[in-house]
């Protein structure tokens, strides 16, 4: 059988994690913390199971959880969102992205994404029968070229995939970017899917500009969020999608046949956790900024370049001082020679750009970051000596 995604292999995240295990390398590739979660969350999960929340959850999500989410959205973004008609709990952000795309586009439609684009976007668009147009962010600094977007928009364009803080570029969109996006789609039948899973991880006093805060974008956007990121527990696989009632209705038509409903005890546990700690997201920027700065400090004399990281729990490493820009090859050398797993960026491009970057995950214990820096420094020394 040819299948529907003949060009797609196993994701670079899965491949790199598997290789790291095989080689017993430090895994700074796939983005997940290596430290313990808050034990209180563990207790609340056990309590929810003991409390009998072990059968199907409501399709749209446990109402108590959606109410806690709405309270947070009001506090953080100043928007009153209706938990009944505008919030859907999903199987991680990945399901929200997938279901929103299936709901929004079909055969003959076009979707615009920006490269480097998170790897699940285009396959979801293709499975919906639509075409994904990939526009590169511009170097240096992975900037939006809004004139290029204007030129790409046409009568078939139905959806634009937006992502800030950006994985894997580690940049954050500015309010001028949201303005430009809103202006471009004004008067067109185009929706926005905004991947905001790193909403709380914006560094150096910067602000996250959510589409929910933009008066023209909010009424036409699916905004996607993740408890895995906020609660340092990527294995929860609980996320949510915020969208106006018309879009939410369409999203749920797909969600109910895709994942149907999400782990019931986990939803109760997260609702209880948010009741106890409503502002748990608010310390994340300082927490990860300290890790970013620790790693950057430890690599300062290495010869590796460290592009600005404005947000996300990643840091790019620029290896142009040591090798030509073949990131797959360099990531392989880092894995086998430095014994550090990273994520190369070319798998996130439709037309593989020759960029000298690999991505490091900073959501790690300080000891892991120090050990990774020691291995990278030693590897850089060997390269300089060679
Ligand atoms: N979001 C994770 C990352 O960027 C990957 C999750 C996955 O493996 N699908 O590293």
Tens digit of each residue's pLDDT (9 = 90 or more) over 56-115: 999 999 999 999 999 999 999 999 999 999 999 999 999 999 999 999 999 999 999 999
Taking the centre of ligand 1 as the mean of its atom positions, its distance from the CA of residue 297, in whole angstroms, is 25
Mean pLDDT (the chain) is 97
pLDDT score, position 353: 81
Mutate to test the pocket of ligand 1, among 19, 31, 239 (most ligand atoms within 8 A of CB): 31
Q: What phi and psi, each to the nearest 5 degrees, are found at residue 193?
A: -110, 115
- As a whole number of angstroms, the distance between CA 48 and CA 41 comes to 10
pLDDT digit string (tens) for the chain, length 386 residues = 889 999 899 999 999 999 999 999 999 999 999 999 999 999 999 999 999 999 999 999 999 999 999 999 999 999 999 999 999 999 999 999 999 999 999 999 999 999 999 999 999 999 999 999 999 999 999 999 999 999 999 999 999 999 999 999 999 999 999 999 999 999 999 999 999 999 999 999 999 999 999 999 999 999 999 999 999 999 999 999 999 999 999 999 999 999 999 999 999 999 999 999 999 999 999 999 999 999 999 999 999 999 999 999 999 999 999 998 899 999 999 999 999 999 999 999 998 788 999 999 999 999 999 999 999 999 999 999 98
Q: Which residues line ligand 1 (CB under 6 A)?
A: 11, 13-14, 30-31, 167
Scanning the chain, the segments in alpha helix (DSSP H) are 12-23, 39-50, 63-77, 83-86, 92-104, 121-127, 146-152, 175-185, 227-230, 245-258, 264-276, 284-299, 327-333, 366-385
Both tokens of residue 225? Answer: 């969020």
> At which of 244, 278, 312 does a domain end?
278
Taking the centre of ligand 1 as the mean of its atom positions, its distance from the CA of residue 327, in whole angstroms, is 18
Atom of ligand 1 nearest to the CA of 361: 10
235 lies in some domain:
yes
Atom of ligand 1 nearest to the CA of 167: 4
The protein residue whose alpha carbon is closest to atom 1 in ligand 1 is 31
123 lies in some domain:
yes
Same domain, 184 and 259: yes
- Dihedral sign (CA 127, 224, 250, 156): negative
Nearest to 360 by CA among 320, 323, 317: 317
Nearest to 232 by CA among 30, 14, 32, 76: 32
270 lies in some domain:
yes
Same domain, 50 and 195: yes
Taking the centre of ligand 1 as the mean of its atom positions, its distance from the CA of residue 362, in whole angstroms, is 13
332 lies in some domain:
yes
CA 210 to chain centre: 14
Same domain, 318 and 251: no
Both tokens of residue 118? Answer: 């998170």
pLDDT score, position 1: 87
Question: How many domains does the structure of the chain reveal?
Answer: 2
Same domain, 129 and 146: yes
Taking the centre of ligand 1 as the mean of its atom positions, its distance from the CA of residue 331, in whole angstroms, is 17
Atom of ligand 1 nearest to the CA of 119: 9
* Owning domain of residue 352: 12-30+282-385
Taking the centre of ligand 1 as the mean of its atom positions, its distance from the CA of residue 120, in whole angstroms, is 9
In the structure, how many helices (H) and strands (E) does the chain have?
Answer: 14, 12
The protein residue whose alpha carbon is closest to atom 7 in ligand 1 is 13
Q: Which residues contact 165 (CB under 8 A, 6 or more apart)?
A: 171, 172, 196, 198, 199, 201, 202, 208, 310, 311, 312
pLDDT score, position 55: 98
CATH of the domain at 214: 3.40.640.10
Mutate to test the pocket of ligand 1, among 10, 12, 13, 165 (most ligand atoms within 8 A of CB): 13
pLDDT score, position 386: 85
Phi-psi region of 184 (alpha: psi -120 to 50; beta: other; left: phi over 0): alpha
The protein residue whose alpha carbon is closest to atom 2 in ligand 1 is 31
Atom of ligand 1 nearest to the CA of 94: 9
Taking the centre of ligand 1 as the mean of its atom positions, its distance from the CA of residue 187, in whole angstroms, is 35
Atom of ligand 1 nearest to the CA of 13: 8
Taking the centre of ligand 1 as the mean of its atom positions, its distance from the CA of residue 47, in whole angstroms, is 29
> At which of 219, 253, 278 does a domain end?
278
């Amino acid at each position: 059988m040819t299948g529907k995604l003949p060009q797609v292999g196993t994701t670079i995240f899965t491949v790199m994690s598997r290789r790291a295990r095989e080689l017993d390398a430090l895994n700074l590739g796939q983005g997940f913390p290596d430290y313990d979660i808050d034990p209180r969350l563990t207790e609340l999960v056990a309590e929810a199971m003991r409390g009998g929340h072990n059968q199907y959850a409501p399709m749209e999500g446990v109402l108590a959880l959606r109410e806690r989410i709405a309270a947070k959205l009001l506090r953080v973004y100043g928007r009153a969102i209706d938990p009944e008609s505008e919030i859907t709990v999903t199987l991680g952000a990945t399901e929200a992205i997938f279901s929103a795309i299936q709901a929004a586009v079909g055969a003959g439609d076009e979707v615009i994404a920006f490269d480097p684009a998170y790897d699940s976007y285009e396959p979801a668009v293709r499975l919906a029968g639509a075409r994904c147009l990939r526009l590169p962010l511009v170097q240096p600094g992975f900037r939006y070229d809004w004139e290029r977007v204007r030129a790409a928009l046409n009568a078939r364009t139905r959806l634009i995939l937006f992502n800030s803080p950006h994985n894997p570029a580690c940049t954050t969109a500015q309010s001028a970017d949201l303005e430009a996006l809103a202006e471009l789609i004004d008067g067109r039948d185009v929706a926005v899917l905004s991947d905001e899973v790193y909403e709380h991880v914006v560094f150096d006093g910067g602000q996250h500009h959510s589409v929910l805060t933009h008066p023209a974008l909010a009424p036409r956007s699916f905004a996607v969020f993740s408890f895995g990121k906020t609660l340092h527990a990527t294995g929860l696989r609980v996320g949510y999608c915020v969208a106006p009632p018309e879009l939410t209705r369409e999203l749920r038509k797909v969600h109910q046949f895709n994942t149907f409903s999400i782990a019931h005890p986990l939803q109760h546990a997260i609702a209880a956790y948010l009741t106890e700690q409503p502002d748990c997201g608010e310390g994340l920027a300082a927490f990860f900024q300290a890790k970013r700065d620790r790693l950057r400090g430890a690599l300062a004399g290495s010869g590796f370049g460290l592009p600005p990281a404005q947000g996300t729990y990643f840091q790019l490493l620029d290896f142009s001082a040591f090798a030509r820009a073949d990131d797959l090859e360099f990531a392989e050398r880092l894995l086998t020679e430095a014994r550090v797993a990273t994520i190369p960026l070319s798998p996130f491009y439709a037309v593989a750009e020759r960029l000298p970057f690999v991505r490091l995950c900073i959501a790690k214990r300080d000891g892991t970051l120090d050990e990774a820096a020691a291995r990278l420094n030693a590897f850089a020394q060997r390269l300089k000596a060679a």
